[in-house]
Amino acid sequence: MEKQKYYINVANGEISHRKHDNNDYLVINATNGEISYLRRKLESMHEASFSSFIRAHIPIVEYHNDSANDAYDDNLLEVYQMLYDLGNKQTREHIKSMGILDNHSM
């Protein structure tokens, strides 16, 4: 499969073929299948974030015992690992500088 260039904004879940605003911090080259998987991971992060929001309003559930937070964190790490693996040199350097994958494979 042919890889295409994509601009990624993890914070808002955006995957774009076009550079606009400041979405060029994370640039990857990916196949359609890889982008589909990345979209599912970003959607899972959004769902876990919403569940965490609801949990935040229930004071008897502790943060460290909240499976939604764990799911969000796991998906976030997988997204950044994927972006690192598919990213250009600038993307890999940016992710390294974040330190998010320090305890994971790079």
Q: Each residue of 60-94: pLDDT tens digit? A: 656 556 566 677 788 899 999 999 999 999 999 99
Report CA torsion sign: 42, 48, 54, 56: negative
Report CA torsion sign: 56, 102, 16, 42: negative
> Under a CB-based contact definition with an 8 Å cutoff, are residues 77 and 101 in contact?
yes
Q: What angle do CA 60, 62, 68 make, to 5 degrees?
A: 110
CB under 8 Å to 64, separation ≥6 — which residues? none
> What whole-number distance in Å separates Cα of residue 5 and Cα of residue 50?
30
pTM above 0.95, yes or no: no
63 or 30, higher pLDDT:
30
pLDDT at residue 59 above 70? no
